[in-house]
Amino acid sequence: MIYTCTVSPSIDYTNYLPDFRTGGLNRSNKVHYYPGGKGINVSRVLKRLGVDSIAYGFAGGFTGQFIQDFLAAEGVRTDFIDTGQISRINVKIKAAEETELNGPGPELSASHLQELKEKVERIKPGDWFVLSGSIPDSLPISYFKSLGNIMQKQEIRFVLDTSGKALKELIDSRPFLIKPNMEELGELFQTTIKDKHHAAECAFQLTAKGVANVIVSMGADGAMLVDREAAYFAEAPTGKMVNTVGAGDSLVSGFIAALSYGSSKEEAFRYGIASGSATAFSDDLCRKEDTEKLLDQIKVQPFKRLDVKR
């Protein structure tokens, strides 16, 4: 089974308008309300790609109810812990540029954390645990490290798609997959990633620390997959960009879904990119048929590592 975990779910309140100006009144001409948060997006896309998962996390209030009802209506199984607090609403503004305003995550008590840990302790060897999205700074990293230890001991495939301090500290738990974008990768190395070669070099360093697979996503430029032996790159397919929210989560889902159907790693990477781009070309997350239509456009090629001294 694949378990996703979203510590800070959201309703993504997406507004479309031709022009957005700060400091004045703006009126949008179209809005959407979708459940959001990275693990939730991974579960929604897995369902669309025909793979079952169970979404864990923390939710509460009328927004938490909306999120759970929406997921139930789509057939996504959930097992959220009630926080008694209103889950955040993240505002996405689609004008000439994409602007995002993400709220803070919930305040969690020791008993909330214990409840999640008990669920994680019941995950079986060979299952997947996808920990995605921001982790509030108020939560002890030692707690997440203890979840990482469970992953290692139980041989659970641990997918980690978070950022900042949590990503840095959890690298030691030797995750199966991490998926930083260029900015997140730069943050990990306290630098600005200059180009693909620089990205490959940093990703190789992460594999040397025990991360089995690193996918560096590069938005409209595509993505790179690095493991201990090799690196691969593929350009993104072309299409009309509509809404890139959830594109990274869709890449992760497509990769996991294809591996779980038995595809090779390169093929799964291609499927992941197609899923990410199909989401970027839609209002909501990708659908299976749109993903598969893009596959022919995507060529995964070995990426030759340069020994550049920086």
Ligand X SMILES: O=P(O)(O)OC[C@H]1O[C@](O)(COP(=O)(O)O)[C@@H](O)[C@@H]1O
Tell the smallest beta-carbon distance from residue 139 to ligand X (Å).
13
Structure token digits, residue 50: 């025909």
Among 61, 103, 186, 219, binds ligand ADP (CB under 6 A): 219
291 near ligand ADP, rule: CB under 6 A: no
Tell the smallest beta-carbon distance from residue 153 to ligand X (Å).
27
Which 211-250 residues touch ligand X, going by CB under 6 A? 245-249
- 249 as an active site residue: the answer is yes
Q: Which residues pair with residue 89 across a beta bridge?
A: 11
Residue 219 touches which of ligand X, ligand ADP, none (Cβ within 5-8 Å per kind): ligand ADP
49 near ligand ADP, rule: CB under 6 A: no
Among 159, 222, 259, 260, binds ligand ADP (CB under 6 A): 222
Residues 165-204: x where in contact with ligand ADP by CB under 6 A, - otherwise, as a string: ----------------x-----------------------
Question: What's the CA gap between 238 and 294, in Å, rounded?
Answer: 9
15 near ligand X, rule: CB under 6 A: no
Which 82-121 residues touch ligand X, going by CB under 6 A? 90, 102
Which 244-283 residues touch ligand ADP, going by CB under 6 A? 244, 247-248, 251, 273, 276-277, 280
Catalytic position from the list 12, 161, 249, 290: 249
Handedness of CA 231, 187, 6, 113 (dihedral sign): positive
Among 3, 4, 5, 10, binds ligand X (CB under 6 A): 10
Among 241, 266, 283, 284, binds ligand ADP (CB under 6 A): 241
Tell the smallest beta-carbon distance from residue 101 to ligand ADP (Å).
16
68 near ligand ADP, rule: CB under 6 A: no
Residue 3 CA to its chain's centroid (Å) = 13
Find out whether 95 and 18 touch, Cβ atoms under 8 Å.
Answer: yes
What residue type is 32 in one-letter code? H
User: With contacts defined by CB under 6 A, how many residues of the chain interact with ligand ADP?
Assistant: 17
Report, as residue numbers or ranges, the catalytic residues. 249
* Interface with ligand X (CB under 6 A): 8, 10, 12, 36-38, 41, 90, 102, 133-134, 245-249
Which residues in this chain contact ligand ADP in the complex, by CB under 6 A?
Answer: 181, 217-220, 222-223, 236, 241, 244, 247-248, 251, 273, 276-277, 280
